[in-house]
């Protein structure tokens, strides 16, 4: 086998390992979130995105940041509104537009969930030394940067 073939096979094994590990971690986090808070990971992702955007986001911006369809986000946001965790606020300059933002209860709930989530991730990845975690995170960032030009 040539060096190029070996490199290609190694990168394929890396990809498959990343995929399996991502699915394993996601499934574990999904179950922890469900058991501890009765929430789904997509709901947690919406809360997380809104937490980073205190002024709120229009639905299209929220969809774009989450990289999902408007329809998916609409269903999740509606449920979060019913639960009192997010609110819709009219945009003064555009009567048709609304912002979605966290309520005080949403901020408080998200802070609690985020702390638990961080602990779960830490426990799941505890076998990875800090130096390795930082190196792999940097390498993954490089892959994403490389993909931006595609």
d(CA 123, CA 29): 11
Rg of the chain taking only CA atoms, in angstroms = 19
Structure tokens, 106: 């949403």
Return the number of other C-beta atoms located less than 10 Å from residue 62's C-beta. Answer: 24
Task: Show Cβ contacts of residue 73 under 8 Å, excluding neighbours closer than 6 positions.
Answer: 46, 59, 62, 63, 66
pLDDT (tens digit per residue) in 111-140: 999 999 999 999 999 999 999 999 999 999
The structural domains of the chain, ordered by start, are 39-148 (1.10.10.10)
94: pLDDT confidence band, cut at 50, 70 and 90?
Answer: confident
Q: How much of the chain, in percent, has pLDDT values that exceed 70?
A: 99
């Amino acid at each position: 086998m040539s060096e190029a073939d070996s490199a290609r096979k190694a990168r394929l094994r890396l990809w498959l390992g990343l995929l399996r590990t991502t699915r394993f971690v996601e499934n574990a986090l999904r179950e922890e979130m469900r058991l501890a808070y009765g929430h789904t990971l997509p709901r947690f992702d919406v809360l997380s995105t809104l937490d980073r955007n205190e002024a709120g986001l229009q639905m299209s911006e929220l969809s774009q940041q989450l990289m999902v369809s408007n329809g998916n986000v609409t269903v999740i946001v509606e449920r979060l509104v019913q639960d009192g965790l997010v609110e819709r606020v009219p945009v003064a300059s555009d009567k048709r537009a609304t912002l979605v933002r966290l309520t005080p209860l949403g901020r408080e709930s998200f802070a609690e969930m985020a702390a638990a989530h961080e602990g779960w991730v830490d426990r799941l990845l505890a076998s990875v030394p800090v130096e390795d975690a930082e190196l792999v995170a940097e390498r993954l960032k490089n892959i994403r940067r490389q993909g931006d030009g595609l």
